[in-house]
Amino acid sequence: MNPDFNTILFAFLLTLFAGLSTGVGSTIAFFAKKTNTRFLTISLGFSAGVMIYVSFVEIFVKGQAVLSEAMGMRQGWWAAVIAFFAGIALIGIIDRLIPSQENPHEFKKIEGGEEEARSGRLLRMGAMTALAIGIHNFPEGLATFTAALSDPQIGIAIAVAVAIHNIPEGIAVSVPVFYATGSKKKAFRLSFLSGISEPVGAIVGYLLLMPIMTENVMGLLFCFVAGIMVFISLDELLPAAEKYGEHHLSIYGLVSGMGVMALSLLLFK
């Protein structure tokens, strides 16, 4: 399970695309008069559906199969489950260490920034949110990258899902910075740069693991990544979707994401 150069390059480009979509969120914040809550609710639910389905049906299963073949059925299952919950633990700890005011998943609306600007805290909030996103996106980048190494088709689906969920993060950075400084260029640059950490996290993680990359390590990594993506979906995407709009819209988006991913796997396998 040693990927060739073209597969690695493709996985990196997908991760770069997903990370830099924070810039799309920043652009939307400047040109939209009002947050389209219905669209964001459905989109975030859709992303969660894609990530949950592919984590349980493809990535975890593939990792568990690799580990069971190498270690035996019982030990392979134990290793897979431990790696899965280790992934959840890592992203959960990162989430806990980021204050809620600056958490990249405490999404902000486009409108209302003028009133908040009087607080004098907006510039710091925007800068800290960008830093928080940078920290938070390291494991997300590794997750996208690993999924693409596992299967390019799966990688594309995950990259799109992560890109959708990075758009509100771009809004979260750019809105406070713009209203604090009046500079669209500064707000866009900070938002755009915060997404760079995603491909950086992918490359750093892969380079650290490459010297010890074996079938077992790759299997553990797949299960670990599945845990990361499930946590992101349940702790961040779905609650954010609920905040942006009606409960049923987020669930419709969730089921649609699962359905599209299932259909894609059936048609293109």
Q: Would 259 be classed as within a structural domain?
A: yes
Which DSSP symbol is given to 195? T
- For residues 201 and 62, the answer to whether their CB atoms sit within 8 Å is no
Q: Would 115 be classed as within a structural domain?
A: yes
Q: Would 34 be classed as within a structural domain?
A: no
Q: Would 113 be classed as within a structural domain?
A: yes
- For residues 157 and 14, the answer to whether their CB atoms sit within 8 Å is no
Q: Would 220 be classed as within a structural domain?
A: yes
Name the domain count of the chain: 1
pLDDT tens-place string over residues 10-37: 999 999 998 888 888 778 766 765 656 6
- What tens-digit pLDDT sequence spans the chain (269 residues)? 567 788 888 999 999 998 888 888 778 766 765 656 677 788 788 888 988 998 899 889 989 999 999 999 999 999 999 999 999 998 888 878 765 554 545 555 555 444 444 445 556 666 666 666 667 677 778 888 888 887 888 888 888 888 887 877 777 777 777 777 777 888 788 888 778 888 888 888 888 877 887 888 889 988 998 998 899 888 877 887 777 666 788 899 899 989 988 887 787 66
Q: How far is CA 249 from CA 28, 49, 72, 142, in A?
A: 21, 13, 43, 30
Q: Would 252 be classed as within a structural domain?
A: yes
Residue with tokens 């899902």: 161
**Domain boundaries, position 75:** 8-29+42-264
Q: Would 244 be classed as within a structural domain?
A: yes
Handedness of CA 235, 240, 245, 250 (dihedral sign): negative
Of 55, 67, 11, which is closest to residue 206 (Cα–Cα)?
Answer: 11
Residue with tokens 């928080």: 132
- For residues 71 and 220, the answer to whether their CB atoms sit within 8 Å is no
Look up the pTM and report it. 0.73
Beta strands in 86-243 (DSSP E): none
- For residues 20 and 163, the answer to whether their CB atoms sit within 8 Å is no
Q: Which pLDDT score is estimated for 155?
A: 84
Q: Would 37 be classed as within a structural domain?
A: no
- For residues 250 and 258, the answer to whether their CB atoms sit within 8 Å is no
SS (H, E, C) 82-106: HHHHHHHHHHHHHHHHCCHHHCCCC
